């Protein structure tokens, strides 16, 4: 009889704990969705895309694709491909010495082609392009 009572109490506590975790998970998801939707409404599509990029939740993924569509990417498959290319190119360019002006310029040109709205890529491309043409020493 005591075992049955203990098992019942443990079972109740487990069910209670799981339901609390689910509520917390739902609240976190709700907060994430609201944050992403606010970013989209504020026309911060890149921020919204970055906020939603790592989730597997279908509702949040839809917001990712909505934000991404405002950035003018061709398709969601292209977006994933572009992100992988960007990651590879950025890892490479971080390792290229600054004295390799032409190589840095060419890599930033590729990154700028993928994401023309990215201000870092734009500034770096302009800098290395001017340096390659001898405008900057």
Residues 63 and 81 in one domain: no
Residues 84 and 63 in one domain: no
More confident residue, 128 or 35: 128
**pLDDT mean over 5-25:** 56
Residues 19 and 36 in one domain: yes
Residues 9 and 54 in one domain: yes
- Quick check: is 96 in a domain? yes
Residues 87 and 119 in one domain: yes
Give the residue numbers spanning the domain of 61: 2-70
DSSP H helical ranges for the chain: 2-41, 45-52, 58-70, 76-95, 101-114, 119-132
State the total domains in the chain. 2
Has this prediction a pTM greater than 0.75?
Answer: no
Whole-angstrom distance, CA of residue 38 vs CA of residue 40: 5
Whether residue 115 contacts residue 121, with contact meaning beta carbons closer than 8 Å, is answered with yes
Is it the case that residue 33 has pLDDT exceeding 70?
yes
Whole-angstrom distance, CA of residue 11 vs CA of residue 136: 72
| Share of residues in the chain with pLDDT > 90 (%) | 18
Location of structure tokens 């390799």: 100
More confident residue, 96 or 22: 96
Condensed to tens digits (0 to 9), the pLDDT of residues 52-107 reads 665 656 676 677 667 766 666 555 556 677 788 888 888 888 999 989 999 999 99
CA neighbor of 104 nearest in space, from 88, 90, 117: 90
């Amino acid at each position: 009889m005591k075992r049955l009572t203990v098992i019942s109490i443990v079972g109740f506590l487990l069910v209670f704990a799981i339901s609390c975790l689910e509520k917390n998970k739902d609240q976190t998801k709700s907060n994430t969705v609201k944050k992403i939707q606010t970013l989209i409404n504020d026309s911060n599509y890149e921020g919204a895309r970055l906020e939603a990029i790592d989730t597997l939740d279908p509702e949040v993924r839809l917001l990712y694709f909505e934000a991404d569509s405002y950035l003018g990417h061709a398709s969601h498959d292209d977006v994933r491909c572009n992100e992988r290319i960007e990651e590879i190119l950025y890892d490479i360019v971080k390792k290229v010495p600054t004295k390799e002006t032409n190589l840095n310029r060419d890599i930033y040109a590729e990154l700028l082609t993928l994401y023309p709205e990215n201000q870092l890529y734009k500034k770096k491309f302009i800098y290395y392009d001017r340096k390659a043409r001898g405008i900057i020493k």
